[in-house]
Structure 1
Amino acid sequence: MCEPITPVPQPPSFDILAEDLEEQAKDLVHHTEQAIARLVSSCTDIASADFETIILPLARIDNEVKARVQYLALFQAISPCPNIRKASSYAVNLVDQAYLNIFQNQSLFKLVNYVRENDVCVHVKSEEDVRLLDKFHWMFLENGMNLAGPSRDRFIWISRRLVELRVQFMETLGSDQGCLWKSEQQLAGVPLHRLSAGAGEDGQEGLYRIPLTRPIINLILAECQIPDTRREVYLRSSTRYKVNVDIFREIILLRDEAARLLGFRSFAAQKLTQQMLGSPDRVSEFLTHLQDALQPLAEKEIAELQGLANANDPIHLWDFDFYHTRMLQEQKHVDHEYISQWFPAKVTVQRMLELYGELFSLRFEKLEVSASSHIWHPDVDVVSVWDKQGSALVGYLYTDIFSRAGKYNHAANFNIYPSFLDADGQRPPIVTALVCNVSQAEPALLRHAEVVTIFHELGHGIHDLVGKSKYAMFHGHRTVADFTEAPSQLLEYWCWIPECLRRLSCHFSYVSPEYYSHWLSSEKQKDIIQPPMEIPLSLAQNLGATRQLNQGILTLRQVAFSMFDMRIHNPETHQDVEKMHISEVYGSLLESMTGLSGPGNGYNWGNGHATTSHFVWGQEASYYSYLYTRTLAADIWLSCFKESPLSQQAAMKYRRQILEHGGSKDEHKAVKDFLGRAPTSDAYLQDLGCKVLTTSI
């Protein structure tokens, strides 16, 4: 007799109206409010409060919120419809305000506080349970539950206002960022097939449209031979989203005021109490250590760039990518535009999944859902993800890689449905989405930097998919902020290994008859031999050898952003941040750290801080973590993978000991246990070309 076949859950539907998003948000808010009211009223005697009666029910409420709000929030980033994007923002605002209410509920706080003080040793069974209890308790404290009277009223108003401001800021980032129009002469050196031709705003024919999206900005800065064009594109891209400048300032002021109401000396001091480095002083020490180690290297790199430019004039911020690209081509024999022929976008993503599947014992099966309700745009692909070892459905991965109007303008991975154990001990399928902004030229080819970016973001997706925490609070990438990027930064190393590059590659002429015809028509020489399918080993080796090129400058650029983040979030007094000229701080740090020049006449030439979500929602008071996690990633790579990058044994050990736990275990201890020692920054600084002494981190 045959065993009954368990039906496989279908992927979610994205066929939704704006009013449906709002209705679902209101239903979630109502459900949450009712659940919290029942939980509080169920405990008639505080002495009966324990982990089972208070913390577990609160965790289930939290699971439910996270299981539903991520779906509602996704539409802000991906929907082609402005009304749906606006409704998504409204829906997220409703849910976020309701979520705030949970941790501003005085009666619930008393119960959680009682459990933490009296019950942790009796009922809590695992490290994840302890971390959950500590996390919930901290969230109440962070939301002003130890305040009273006018201070508490003011704090609650600030917390609600900050949610509103964040939503406004993110809505602006989803709006059209404008464009420039340039002639063929003004775009000398740029592969014009990557751009759209048409009439400019003044009706001039024969111009090319330069949308101020990240892929096109990067293309112009790297390839355009005309300095004035590079300068204009850079400065225009640095002054987008003007409306966000005032929003950003209000956010910084309110964060500082709220932190001081809570008794912290700054917002950074408050935030860092929950992270690996622990304090602004330790962050400052870390950044200063990097700056001191990298400054001599960057000065040498600047001199080499000036030599290539054959001028004693400064290298400007908008010149760096151009001369960096020339150095790659002329000194390292790497032409990124030429190499991109071996990385057709969709095929490369497919091969990335094959490599991830081999390393982490996963199987990806593409679903035929074109033009169905299971995708939000015809360009989107979806695969079901299976665990090879148990043949169990893990979840679904969406890939949405091409740019379009209104879409989130960077690259990111969006968790849609997290993992957790439900009340029946079952784990719902995980749903996660890769969202990028590859230029949809014909053929759509990836430059190597885009290959690295997509492989990195897919790494976050893998972290989601293999996560096995009990609580959604700790699923996948939901670790402390200064660990979150480490797993994906580790995976970037595979994109520099010749063997792996060859596995990811496929010359576009082999993809389809249409692409083959396109390749033939683009070749001027007749009877040319079709290139090899995989990137030639010599090209892959040359590319891999460029990894250290100008890393002093590039890393100090990240140090500048990290110092800016600390400067605005860790002022000595509230008056200091009130008087601060935020744009000037941003510009001056960027110039002084990198050694690259701006336009002159002061530093108030842009508002780059207001063109990204990093300092508002994601890495606020934590931007340094991009650098800190690189030190962890480099140490893990050198110790465990460098000698055998395709070792499934090493990858599965890493999956079991690091990825599956997400934030459910102490991250520093997990890395220490994995390495068999405390991590150091040696491997990272050596990676960058520095000679260093051992420094424990």
Structure 2
Amino acid sequence: MIDYQQLTPESLAQACQDAINACDDAIAAIVATPADERTFANTFVALESAVDIVHQASGKYAFMSHVSDDDALRETARDWDERIGKYAVQLGFREDLYAAVKEFAATPEAASLAGEEARLLEFTLRDYRRNGFELPKEQREQVQALMNRLVELGTEFRKAIDTWDDAIVVPREQLAGMPDRWIDGLRRVEEDGATKYRVSLDYPEIMPFMDNADSGELRRELFLKNQNKGGEPNVKVLEEAIAVRSRIAQLLGYDSWAAYVVEKRMAKERGHVDRFLRDFGERLAPKAEADMAVLSRAKQQHAGDATLHIWDWWYETNRLLKTDYAVDDFAIAEYFPLQACLDGLFLVTQDLLGIRYEPAADAPRWHADVQAFDVFDANGGGEPLARFYMDLYPRPNKFGHAAAFTLRSGRRLPDGSYQRPVSAIVANFTKPTPEAPSLLRHTEVVTLFHEFGHILHQTLTTARFLEFSGTSTERDFVEAPSQMLEHWVWDRDVLRRFSRHHKTGEPLPDELLDAMIRAK
């Protein structure tokens, strides 16, 4: 068990290097197996076990690049995240490992495989083809070099986003439209003898501001700052990444990077995606145009200007919800303290799936804000099925959005036991203070349920192999469980069960509930 409080840059680096060394040793044994002794167990199962060593190191240690508040540790974790990414590329291009896989594929046992085993063999051979193993070696080496460069560019791009810190600083009188409770939670800045307020790009600040701030000029300023995260250098990184992707696709015989990527999706072909999007766009266009007209008229009425800029969209939509539907996001948030939302989330999913959650008192934590829970079968005792973490509040240099991370994948171990999955929600909801609770707007409640859908997908997996474990599915399916869970936060009975006013304890009134559903 890792002790995050004792983790240092040096111990993190050593643990990652040890994992790579152990993986190398395990793979050496695989490739050394004589061709006439090849079996699924000593080739594919052994390869799964080898790769999982590095996979777990990434989940335990490289993950710290997203959440650690120690600068040196975070930088070391980011460096090893890139190294592990390149190591994964290297594994995919090892000719001796490919030869071992091909040797097994030619055996009678391979021909008799079914179910997950047959699918794993099929996918592995497909991925080797997609790495260029049907091409001349010189071309394949070019592809490998370009894929390594993509890993570097991805690290550079994410670092620029995660470490970007920008804001607008304004006097209180320019914050018209924002409630006092929200303003009082902002960081104060003294400028020229006057107190001003800093509105950052963190979600709990920028999203309510874009929805509610009356000043179109300030909304524009904050919007453009957010759109320019990473700055001009990141534009150059992105341009190079696009060029590298295009070159990889060309070398591998695809007409575009999109065609290369979509081959591993349910859609299979780019043409299917193009037709779907075109058809979808044509069907939605009349509704979108009607909505735009409504918002444009509303802006004309209150501002004397019918021109809709992109930084007006959220504000005008929110204003219309207030005036025409009596839906005020801040008023509704009074009924959604974070703890009540967590209680409701747990209640719904425990009832729905026949599971129960218990605080994991022994779980190592990387920050004092982090909570940990074990998942159990509600009808059985014994060992937990899985564990998940919740890291829900903003911190400097922390991952800036909301996402679910796999820290350890579930899989069937060679001894027949099941490796318990470990996952983490990383989000950026308003942190409670002694003066004010953490209150979630309804859109944030939707986000919480959505991300927990990923956690359930990751932690309740029964897949035998890493390749298919949890959210390791086709990427055009992976959002389905999360989008399904979102619907529970629009259900009247569910909302009545867990909404409660942070002062009175009263549930969300029927008139507010009705207005929310009518305006959906």
Q: 2:99 aligns with which of 90, 107, 110?
A: 110
1:642-667 deviation per Cα after TM superposition (whole angstroms, max 9, x unaligned): xxxxxxxxxxxxxxxxxxxxxxxxxx
Letter matched to residue 101 of structure 1: Q
Report the alpha carbon displacement of residue 120 of structure 1 after superposing the two structures with TM: 6.0
In the TM superposition, residue 396 of structure 1 has moved relative to its aligned partner by: 1.5
1:253-292 equivalences in 2 (<5 Å): 253-292=243-282
C-alpha contact 1:51 1:123 (8 A) present in aligned 2: no
Looking at structure 1, the residues matched to 143 and 463 of structure 2 have their Cα atoms a distance apart, in angstroms, of 33
Contact persistence 1:25–1:92 (CA under 8 A): no
Is 1:187–1:229's contact at 8 Å kept on the other side of the alignment?
Answer: no
Change (3 A) 1:312 1:178: closer
| 1:385 correspondence with 2:375 | yes
Instruction: String of CA shifts for 1:184-208, please: whole Å, max 9, x gaps.
Output: 12110112433424225x5452211
Question: Are positions 1:464 and 2:454 aligned together?
Answer: no
Q: In the alignment, does 2:202 pair up with 1:213?
A: yes
Q: CA deviation at 1:47?
A: 4.5
Q: Which residue of 1 aligns with 2:519?
A: 546
Q: Secondary structure at the match of 2:56?
A: helix
Counterpart check, 1:397 vs 2:388: yes
**Closer, same or farther: CA 176–239 of 1 in aligned 2, 3 Å:** closer
**Counterpart in 2 of 1:597?**
none
Matches of 1:99 and 1:250, distance apart in 2:
21
Contact persistence 1:73–1:88 (CA under 8 A): yes
Give the whole-Å Cα distance in 1 for the aligned partners of 2:187 and 2:48: 54
Contact 1:36 / 1:102 at 8 angstroms: preserved in 2? no
Aligned mates of 2:245, 2:316 — CA distance in 1: 40
SS of alignment partner, residue 180 of structure 1:
strand
Verify the 8 A CA contact 2:391 2:424 in the aligned structure 1.
Answer: yes
Displacement after TM superposition at 1:166 (Å): 1.2
Retained in 2: the 8 A contact 1:198–1:205?
Answer: no
Q: Which residue, out of 308, 321, 341, partners 2:298?
A: 308
Query: How many residues are aligned here?
Result: 509
Q: TM-score, normalised by structure 2?
A: 0.94
Query: Equivalent residue for 2:186?
Result: 196
Q: Does 1:60 align with 2:33?
A: no
Q: Is the 8 A contact 1:116 1:134 kept in 2?
A: no
**Residues 420 and 428 of structure 1 are in contact (CA less than 8 Å); yes or no, is this contact kept in structure 2?**
yes
How do residues 492-507 of structure 1 correspond to structure 2 at under 5 angstroms? 492-507=486-501
Aligned to 1:249: 239
Question: Is residue 81 from structure 1 mapped to residue 70 from structure 2 by the alignment?
Answer: yes
**Which residue in 2 is equivalent to 1:352?**
345
**In structure 1, distance between residues paired with 2:429 and 2:41:** 48
Mapped partners of 1:477, 1:87: distance in 2: 27
Mapped pair 1:424 → 2:424: no
Equivalent pair of 2:267/2:273 in contact (CA under 8 Å): yes
Gaps of 5+ in 2: none
- Contact (CA 8 Å) 1:86, 1:171: kept in 2 or not? no
Q: In the TM superposition, what are the counterparts of 1:650-665 in structure 2 within 5 Å?
A: none
Write the distance in 1 (CA, Å) between the matches of 2:187 and 2:110.
69
1:632-643 → structure 2 map (5 Å cutoff): none
Whole-Å separation in 2 of the counterparts to 1:27 and 1:86: 19
Instruction: Tell me the distance in 2 between the aligned counterparts of 1:266 and 1:203.
Output: 55
The 8 Å contact of residues 198 and 206 in structure 1, kept in 2 or not, is answered as yes
Query: Contact (CA 8 Å) 2:463, 2:469: kept in 1 or not?
Result: yes
1:56 offset after TM fit, Å? 2.0
Asked if residue 412 in structure 1 is aligned to residue 412 in structure 2, the reply is no
- Using the alignment, how far apart are the partners of 1:313 and 1:117 within structure 2? 69
Residue 27 (1) aligns with residue 15 (2): no
| Structure 1 residues 56 and 326, CA gap change in structure 2 (3 angstroms) | same
Answering whether residue 292 of structure 2 is matched by residue 299 of structure 1, we say no
Structure with the bigger RCO (C-alpha within 8 Å, sep 6+) is 1
Tell me which amino acid in the other structure corresponds to 1:282: H
Counterpart in 2 of 1:234?
Answer: 223
* TM-superposed deviation, 1:149: 4.1
Residue 12 (structure 1) shift: 5.0
> In structure 1, what is the equivalent of residue 427 of structure 2?
436
1:408-430 CA distance string (max 9 Å, x none): 00001111111011121111222
CA–CA distance in structure 2, aligned partners of residues 30 and 283 of structure 1:
42
Partner of 2:475: 481
Q: Is the 8 A contact 2:22 2:50 kept in 1?
A: no
Deviates more, 1:385-394 or 1:244-253: 385-394
Return the alpha-carbon distance in structure 1 between the equivalents of residues 140 and 205 of structure 2.
47
The CA distance in 2 between the partners of 1:67 and 1:237, in whole Å, is 33
Is the Cα–Cα contact under 8 Å of residues 348 and 506 in structure 1 kept in the other structure?
no
Distance 1:127 1:543 in 2: 46
Q: Distance in 2 between matches of 1:151 and 1:173?
A: 33
Give the Cα separation in 2 of the matches to 1:138 and 1:102: 15
CA distance in 2, matches of 1:414, 1:197: 30
Aligned 1:611-622 pairs, distance under 5 A: none
Cα deviation code 1:586-615 (max 9, x no counterpart)? xxxxxxxxxxxxxxxxxxxxxxxxxxxxxx
Letter in 2 for 1:449: T
C-alpha distance after superposition, 1:490-536 (max 9, x if no partner)? 11111111111122312112xxxxxxxxxxxxxxxxxxxx4x52112
Superposition deviation, residue 168 in structure 1: 1.5
- Tell me the residue number matched to 1:679: none
1:136 maps to 124
Q: CA deviation at 1:97?
A: 1.8
What do you get for the CA RMSD once the two structures are aligned? 1.8
How far apart are the structure 2 equivalents of 1:465 and 1:223? Answer: 37
TM-aligned CA deviation for residue 117 of structure 1: 4.8
Match status 1:376 vs 2:376: no
2-structure distance, mates of 1:138, 1:17: 40
Preserved contact between residue 132 and residue 143 of structure 2 (Cα < 8 Å): yes
Alignment partners' CA distance in 2, 1:119 and 1:478: 29
Q: TM-score, normalised by structure 1?
A: 0.70
Alpha-carbon offset, residue 152 of structure 1: 2.4
Deviations 1:21-73 (A, max 9, x none): 11111111111112112211122xx3543423322211222233323321222
Work out whether residues 400 and 433 of structure 1, in 8 Å CA contact, stay in contact via their aligned partners in 2.
yes
Q: Using the alignment, how far apart are the partners of 1:204 and 1:419 within structure 2?
A: 57
1:50–1:119 CA contact under 8 A, matched in 2: no
Conserved 8 A contact 1:386-1:394:
yes
Aligned-pair distance for 1:118? 4.6
Contact 2:357–2:375 under 8 Å retained in 1: yes
2:92 & 2:413 partners in 1: Cα distance? 22
Contact 1:354 1:364 in 2 (8 A): no
User: In 2, are the aligned partners of 1:63 and 1:420 still within 8 Å (CA)?
Assistant: no
Give the conservation status (yes or no) of the 8 Å contact 1:414–1:432: yes
